[in-house]
Amino acid sequence: MARIRLGMVGGGKDAFIGAVHRIAARIDGEFDLVAGALSSTPEKARESGALLGIAADRAYGSFEEMAEREAARPDGIEAVAIVTPNHMHAAPAIAFLQRGIHVICDKPLTATMEQAEALAAAVEASDALFLLTHNYTGYPMVRQAREMVAAGNLGTLRVVQVEYAQDWLTEATTGKQAEWRTDPARTGAGGSIGDIGTHALNLACFVTQLSLEALAADLQSFVPGRPVDDNAHMLLRFGGGARGMLWCSQVAPGNENSLRLRVYGDRGGIEWAQEDPNYLWFTPFGEPKRLLTRGGAGASGAAAAASRTPGGHPEGYLEGFANIYLGAAQAIRAAQAGERAAVLDLLPGLDAGMAGMRFIAAAIRSSRADAAWVAP
């Protein structure tokens, strides 16, 4: 089977997430990166393209040019990965969707609700797929958790505890990553809530299949002069009566990338932590706690389908990310055959993206109203 021809917008030298997308796209051998608008600086775009083995005539200086010229080639890209800062998601995504090119976009959806709505319209108007890399949903044990909840292993859900704690912004920020992620013009109005809070919410909703009905948020900017939040505390109310809490922080020393989810129902509870992703704790009420391992005796079909190695061979962040790309490849090939791939049920897309945008807006609105309840 021929590899899917992939382009990339953003992700030039020194970019973090662009390199992650490229590895994720390579792991299963389903994509070939053949074109790029890797930087808004033309020279850097060319250099980055050369380093990545992109032909010189397909290392574009702008996404507009890339969209136009690739759409015109018989061997043009079939899909594009968008890995720019948040404020630069909507425009390229729309440009490629309008040309029928599938889009794999980094999260959050956009920097502003206006951009989000424009993008939503483009997605709805296009036959092409739009996928959002809420990559934590790609972890095998996260998919198993979702499957277990759906199977009723936890009974009726009551309590959802989710948190995403980091410490890299504990002090006033420097460096490329820190700069754009704390600049409202590029990152959007949300700081930690947009960068990691959306991941936390998405993970909770992906696993529980609950919808968020209301939140009460208390946002903080602990570092003096920081224009966006760097810590947030929220109460959550879900459809069906479950309640929850969400904490996200970029100022919690000792936390690197501590995304953790705990879900409790009237029949059992589960716990999962991103930094130790091959484990899923499961306690059926009244029985001993079990440590389910990816590939082990308690692993489900959902986990197996998202795994590449037997149990005991730790898979990590890149493999989870690659599961989004693998799903994208399956969905794209199905779409090319005029079909809808079942894996799309597992892949975050526009809905997840809009939910994230509404979450950001609601959190800000609630916090400004002294943590009043707000429907997202």
Contact indicator for 119, 89 with CB cutoff of 8 Å: yes
Stretch that binds its own copies, among 17-25, 82-90, 94-102, 204-212 (CB under 8 A): 17-25
Our finding on whether 90 is near its own copies (CB under 8 A) is: no
The answer to whether residue 189 forms part of the interface with its own copies (CB under 8 A) is no
Least CB distance to its own copies at residue 121 (A) = 34
Query: Closest CB to its own copies among 245 and 344?
Result: 245
Give the range of 4-12, 16-24, 36-44, 344-352 binding its own copies by CB under 8 A.
Answer: 16-24
Which strands sit side by side in the sheet containing 157-165, from one edge to the other?
A: 212-220, 231-238, 243-249, 157-165, 258-265, 268-273, 279-284
Nearer to its own copies, 19 or 335 (CB): 19
Site string for its own copies, 23-52 (x = CB under 8 A): x--xxxx---------------------xx
Beta bridge partners of 81: 8, 104
Which residues between 193 and 222 bind its own copies (CB under 8 A)? 216, 218, 220, 222
**CB of 85 or CB of 265, closer to its own copies:** 265
Question: Does position 312 bind its own copies by CB under 8 A?
Answer: yes
Q: Work out whether 244 is an interface residue with its own copies (CB under 8 A).
A: yes
What x-and-dash track marks residues 262-291 binding its own copies by CB under 8 A? x-xxxxxxxx--xxxxx--xxxxxxxxxxx
Strands 102-105 and 231-238 come out as: unpaired
User: Which of 159, 305, 334, 335 contacts its own copies by CB under 8 A?
Assistant: 159
Q: Which of 67, 319, 354, 361 binds its own copies (CB under 8 A)?
A: 319
* Choice between 93 and 207, CB closer to its own copies: 207
CB of residue 95 vs its own copies: minimum separation in angstroms?
A: 26
Q: Which is nearer to its own copies, 26 or 333 (CB)?
A: 26
Strand ranges of the sheet holding 79-82, from the earlier edge strand across to the other edge? 31-37, 4-9, 79-82, 102-105, 130-132
Count interface residues toward its own copies (CB under 8 A): 92
Nearer to its own copies, 264 or 359 (CB): 264
Distance CA 341, CA 30 (A): 16
Of 157, 140, 164, 154, the residue nearest 282 (C-alpha):
154
Interface with its own copies, residue 178, by CB under 8 A: no
Which two structure tokens, joined as six digits, stand for 27?
């792991």
Does residue 69 belong to the site contacting its own copies (CB under 8 A)?
no
Closest approach, Cβ 301 to its own copies, in A, equals 15
Q: Which is nearer to its own copies, 60 or 238 (CB)?
A: 238
Distances (CA, A) of 237 to 108, 149, 240, 246: 22, 18, 9, 11
DSSP assignment of 52-90 equals TT--GGGB-SSHHHHHHHHHHSTT--SEEEE-S-GGGSH
How many whole angstroms separate alpha carbon 24 and alpha carbon 322?
4
Cβ distance 125 to 117 under 8 Å?
Answer: no
Burial zone of 198 (CB within 10 Å; 0-12 exposed, 13-18 middle, 19+ buried): buried
Instruction: Choose, by CB under 8 A, the member of 124, 171, 179, 351 that binds its own copies.
Output: 171
